[in-house]
Amino acid sequence: MKKKLMALSVASMVGISGLVGGTYAFFNDTEASANNSFTAGTLNIESFRDDIPIEGPMFYTNDSLDGAMGTGLWKPGDSHTRGIYFENTGSIAGKLTKLSANPEAPVGSAAFQDAMEFADQSTVVISMYENRGGSVDATAWSLVLKNTDELMKNEYDSWLNRYRAERNGMTLSELKLDDMRFLAYVRETLLEQVFVTKNAVGQNVYFDVKQVYADSLKNLVNPGHDVAGEFQKSIEPFETMYMGYTVTLQDLTPEKNNLVQGKEVKFGFAHEFKQK
């Protein structure tokens, strides 16, 4: 009861002050925080071909003084593996989100059509290698690419020899489907593979395959391939990502193969990174 009376009394006082024209002012003060600094980080991914820090293509026909050996002229059934690695020279992490391969010719031109024909009868396996031990250098990286190249060629040759009699009677659609089955088999083989190489000082270096893309080269052409979230590997600042590309010109019907006979086509492989 006493508390209620006190509350009524205070209320009465406030009411009276209002009647006599009294005013109440709140004390106020403002504190300023000066010199706030916002510095944007940088995401800068640099790419290098094969085992040497020189910008340029992964695939080229002839040998060059500043690169690894060329592929030579392609023929149906040929398979070649080349590598590219990325270094994050920025200050924030970036993750791989998209892969694409686009003909370096104007859309609708004869050169563009030749490139798309090559893409339609070629497959590509994109391997992401993860270092599991040992110090990676140019020697170790070039050896793991060589080992991958040999594995892919041997497996493809073995596959063709095993099913050559059956393939002779297949339609074009059936041949392409058969090659897709081979890619599925290779994908599983690579995911279970541990590559053991040596660096320049003779130390063992271990690589396993973190992620593999295996499909028609044509399916990498615009808009490209969105990398699934579970495979979006990140590159921290000053770290490196190693990737290998195996392109195979399918051994299809002579009529299909003849569409690219004697043609030279060029592709640009793009890798999109976004901030982590």
Q: Summarize pLDDT for 17-65 with one digit per residue, the tens.
A: 344 445 555 656 556 666 665 666 666 777 776 545 556 678 888 876 6
Q: What is the pLDDT of residue 100?
A: 92
The C-alpha atoms of residue 158 and residue 94 are separated, in whole angstroms, by 39
Question: Per the omega criterion (within 30 degrees of 0), is the bond before 223 cis?
Answer: yes
Amino acid identity for residue 275 in this structure: Q
Q: Which of 262, 78, 249 lies closest to 175 in space, CA to CA?
A: 249
Give the SS3 label for residue 35: coil
Instruction: At 71, list the tokens.
Output: 């592929």
Predicted confidence band of residue 98 (pLDDT cuts 50, 70, 90): very high
The C-alpha atoms of residue 116 and residue 108 are separated, in whole angstroms, by 10
User: End-to-end alpha-carbon separation of the chain, Å?
Assistant: 64
216 forms beta bridges with 123
Instruction: At 211, list the tokens.
Output: 């992620």
Predicted confidence band of residue 13 (pLDDT cuts 50, 70, 90): very low
User: What string of DSSP letters covers 84-133?
Assistant: EEEEE-SSS-EEEEEEEEEESS-TTSHHHHHHHHHHHTEEEEEEEEEEEE
pTM summary value = 0.80
The C-alpha atoms of residue 129 and residue 245 are separated, in whole angstroms, by 11
Q: What is the pLDDT of residue 138?
A: 84
The C-alpha atoms of residue 195 and residue 134 are separated, in whole angstroms, by 12
Q: Report the pLDDT averaged over residues 101-113.
A: 92
High-pLDDT (> 90) share of the chain, %: 32
Q: Summarize pLDDT for 139-175 with one digit per residue, the tens.
A: 898 899 889 999 888 888 888 888 878 888 889 899 9
Strand arrangement, sheet containing 194-198: 45-49, 79-88, 240-249, 122-133, 204-216, 194-198
Q: Summarize pLDDT for 233-269 with one digit per residue, the tens.
A: 899 998 989 999 999 999 888 888 888 899 989 998 9
High-pLDDT (> 70) share of the chain, %: 79
The C-alpha atoms of residue 176 and residue 134 are separated, in whole angstroms, by 40
Q: Would you tell me how many other CB atoms lie within 10 Å of the CB of residue 227?
A: 20
